[in-house]
A = this chain, B = another copy of it.
Amino acid sequence: MSQGPPLPPLEQTVPEVVVQRLPQYVRVLGALVREEVEVVSSHQLGERLQTTPAQIRKDLSYFGRFGKQGRGYSVGNLQRQLKDILGLSRQWNVGLVGVGRLGLAILSYPGFAPEGFRIVAAFDADPTQVGQNIGGVGVYAMDDLARMVQEMDISIGVVAVPGMHAQQVVDRLVECGVRAILNYAPTSPQTHEGVRIRNIDPVLSLQSMTYYLMGPERGENGQSQE
């Protein structure tokens, strides 16, 4: 799975949970920038993020030393560094598969572009959809997927097709070289080696909350996120 013996820098492997928390740190730092706060301690960050200061310091320590003892972290600097680490200092081109009700909602969602995620092409299996232009985004046939991924430098796929077809769409995307997929279909597709999938599945979220709504008292601790 890994390479030969030379063994490059190889920064100690970072737990996936940590990577998943970093974007939240970036977001809070963005809020602090807007509030014109210049320095922040791990304790203050912990309050905003509902975590412990230790967690934040430990997380950051996987990537470097960003703070100053006795003072804390420079808000602007830390935000910039984390964005660089996460790859958020650049734009990413996104391909959307499925322009049904859900796909259209995603296309019209204004939250992606400001964060650097640009939907540059849409795809659909239905020939009557192909050729359309929806809010500036062209709709292509699935057969054009490989070509368009190349030509438009698409590195992220968004899947918004019926659950029944999600797996094959994921497989197609992976074949075409896409290694990060955001899946809105109510199915957890089989994952491929080296490919990241994140599922957006509100029904599953609801279904795990109802457990705590049952019985007289099952909700002992009141946390939990995402």
A contact set with B: CB distance below 8 Å: 1-3, 13, 16, 19-20, 22-24, 26-27, 49-50, 85-88, 92, 101-102, 105, 108-109, 111-112, 115, 117, 155-156, 179-180, 182, 186, 188, 190-214, 217, 219-226
Contact = CB atoms under 8 A, between A and B. Distances in A.
A200 B207 contact: no
Nearest to A215: B87
Contacts of A86: 207-208, 210-211, 214
Contact of A223 (B23, B27, B191, B224): B191
A23 B225 CA distance: 17
A1 B27 CA distance: 32
Contacts of A88: 207, 210
A117 to B, nearest CB: 6
B210 A222 contact: no
6 tightest A-B contacts by CB? A23-B207, A198-B205, A87-B210, A193-B222, A180-B209, A105-B105
Contacts of A192: 222
